[in-house]
Amino acid sequence: MAKKLTKQSDNYSKWYNELVVTAGLAENSAVRGSMVIKPYGFSIWESMKTELDYQFKLTGHENAYFPLFIPKSFLSREASHVEGFAKECAVVTHYRLKNDPNGKGVIVDENAKLEEELIVRPTSETIIWSTFKNWIQSYRDLPLLINQWANVVRWEMRTRLFLRTSEFLWQEGHTAHETQKEAIDEAELMLNVYKNFAKDFLAIPVYTGIKSESEKFAGADVTYCIEALMQDGKALQAGTSHYLGQNFAKAFDVKYQTKAGKQEYVWATSWGVSTRLIGALIMAHSDDKGLVLPPKLAPIQVVIIPIYRKKEQLEEVSEKVNNIVKQLQAKGIRVKFDKNDNQKPGWKFAEYELKGVPIRLAIGPRDLKNNTIELARRDTFEKTTYSQDNLVEEIEKLLEEIQQNIYNKAVKFREDNTHTVDDFAEFKNIIETKGGFVFAHWDGTAETEDKIKTETKATIRFIPMEDGEIGKCIYTGNPSTKRVCFAKAY
């Protein structure tokens, strides 16, 4: 039978790490802090990428690609940007190796030192804005709506598969606009694209809001975010969208000629999500038996397992199943017929539970006689016997129902673990014993924010964009204009 996982309730972190590896999503690589994404995990990322790319293009964005390497001098042009990323940058100093004269492998050739050191991109604002300077001359060139799918490197000290690795995959949008309003509208538009994607595909409800000054992206005027709640009560920042003002336009002297013939700096945004979404998917839905995947992102939506004792029975079952497979594929349903005879049905049942396949079908000689098939749902473990007639239509409906049920379960979990408090003692107790999202008044100062973080390890996950009630800060008692959301976070 499949390997048993550590229970979430015993050790959530160990459960997560075991599940990622055992379910065949990813594994640690030979490079410290980096991961190998295996085919099953990469298939999930491909599905995410396909849908997001479609949504980006619907909103007028085009894909491009920019260099992996960034001249070190570029980062210093935007002061807060370099300060924010300096500690995470990997730096290329030489371009050649040579044989060690002492016979100990290869060493750096000191005669091959780069004239200017290169940064392995932690994010691409600087290299892209140096390029935008050549692309933008007039208002006719705006808006410029660009996205790229790429890898980035941030030299993390503490890593965890999908959630925080030294190298990861992502998309990053970069746009330029004539006016401040257009740029802000763009940043909020993409925030909503992420919010709807999380709901409709990841089956994860998210809050949207604004990051505090201390939590915002280095180089942004405003950082918008989507925040999700994981089953251990911690928050996960699942995506961000940044209004950059004219910071990078001024740093790289990107101006355009207005309709009135004047020279003005453009207004900018950037926005992105990464393979961290796979970590969110795992921690929001999965259980002690393995992955629970929303059908829209599951690499295999339906698996069919034959039950037989003799080879002749397998041939009879296969003839029927092959027809079912063709019908499902014709509907765009991702289906696998597992007739591998190296493993018994019981092992396969456990294996596909571990992998989070939404629907499992089992069929044997008796089912052929009775024109039936057994169907098991991964989300509820419910088993039902169906007629083979209209089976495909039933599966289509069930996949939609399972997607919605997984989302509803996540919504209920968030509701049950969202708290509103007015007292700091109660705040500390909830953060320590229950976790979840805690809405409380804050006086708006970085000093108070830092003190709350130091005492409780809870950070401000977002500031709601809508107006709120007037109140008093839970820590200082000073006036507060609205409640903000605190939580411990990944």
Task: Enter the pTM of the model.
Answer: 0.95
- What does the pLDDT look like over 323-359, one tens digit per residue? 999 999 999 999 999 999 889 999 999 999 999 999 9
The residues facing 208 across adjacent strands are 226
Once rounded to an integer, what is the mean pLDDT over residues 303-319?
93
101 has a pLDDT exceeding 80: yes
What is the C-alpha to C-alpha distance for residues 263 and 296, in angstroms, rounded to an integer?
48
Q: One-letter amino acid identity for 334?
A: R
Check if the beta carbon of residue 222 is closer than 8 Å to that of residue 243: yes
Once rounded to an integer, what is the mean pLDDT over residues 169-186?
98
| Res 158: pLDDT | 87
66 has a pLDDT exceeding 70: yes
Q: State residue 312 phi and psi, 5-degree precision.
A: -65, -35
pLDDT band at 311 (very low <50, low <70, confident <90, very high): confident
For residue 343, the tally of other CB atoms under 10 A from its CB is 12
Q: Which residues of 46-68 are buried (b: 16+ CB within 10 A; e: fewer)?
A: ebbbeebeebbeeeebeeeebeb
| Res 79: pLDDT | 75
Greatest mean pLDDT among 78-82, 104-108, 404-408: 404-408
Pull the structure tokens for residue 193.
Answer: 């694209």
For residue 341, the tally of other CB atoms under 10 A from its CB is 9
- What does the pLDDT look like over 11-62, one tens digit per residue? 999 999 999 999 999 999 999 899 999 999 999 999 999 999 999 999 999 9
Domains present along the chain, CATH in parentheses: 12-70+124-285 (3.30.930.10), 302-398 (3.40.50.800), 418-487 (3.30.110.30)
Check if the beta carbon of residue 316 is closer than 8 Å to that of residue 354: no
Average pLDDT of the chain, as a whole number: 96
| Res 36: pLDDT | 98
What is the C-alpha to C-alpha distance for residues 145 and 183, in angstroms, rounded to an integer?
11
- What does the pLDDT look like over 433-469, one tens digit per residue? 999 999 999 999 999 999 999 999 999 999 999 999 9
Residues with Cβ < 8 Å from 175, sequence gap 6 or more?
A: 61, 143, 144, 145, 146, 183, 186, 268, 269, 270
What is the C-alpha to C-alpha distance for residues 218 and 220, in angstroms, rounded to an integer?
6
| Res 1: pLDDT | 45
What is the C-alpha to C-alpha distance for residues 301 and 358, in angstroms, rounded to an integer?
6
- What does the pLDDT look like over 204-220, one tens digit per residue? 999 999 999 999 999 99
Q: One-letter amino acid identity for 161?
A: L
Q: State residue 297 phi and psi, 5-degree precision.
A: -115, -5
Torsion of CA 290, 296, 297, 300, to 10 degrees: 70
SS (H, E, C) the chain: CCCCCCCCCCCHHHHHHHHHHHCCCEEECCCCCCEEECHHHHHHHHHHHHHHHHHHHHCCCEECCCCCEEEHHHHCCCHHHHHHHHHHCEEEEECCEEECCCCCCEEECHHHEEEEEEEECCCCHHHHHHHHHHHCCEHHHCCEEEEEEEEEECCCCCCECCCECCEEEEEEEEEEECCHHHHHHHHHHHHHHHHHHHHHCCCCCCEEEECCCCCCCCCCCEEEEEEEECCCCCEEEEEEEEEEECHHHHHCCCEEECCCCCEEECEEEEEEEECHHHHHHHHHHCECCECCCCCCCCCCCEEEEECCCCHHHHHHHHHHHHHHHHHHHHCCCCEEECCCCCCCHHHHHHHHHHCCCCEEEEECHHHHHHCEEEEEECCCCCEEEEECCCHHHHHHHHHHHHHHHHHHHHHHHHHHCEEECCCHHHHHHHHHHCCCEEEEECCCCHHHHHHHHHHHCCEEEEECCCCCCCEECCCCCCEECCEEEEECEC
Once rounded to an integer, what is the mean pLDDT over residues 354-381?
97
| Res 156: pLDDT | 86
| Res 455: pLDDT | 98
| Res 80: pLDDT | 82
Check if the beta carbon of residue 307 is closer than 8 Å to that of residue 211: no
More confident: 81 or 70: 70
2 has a pLDDT exceeding 60: no
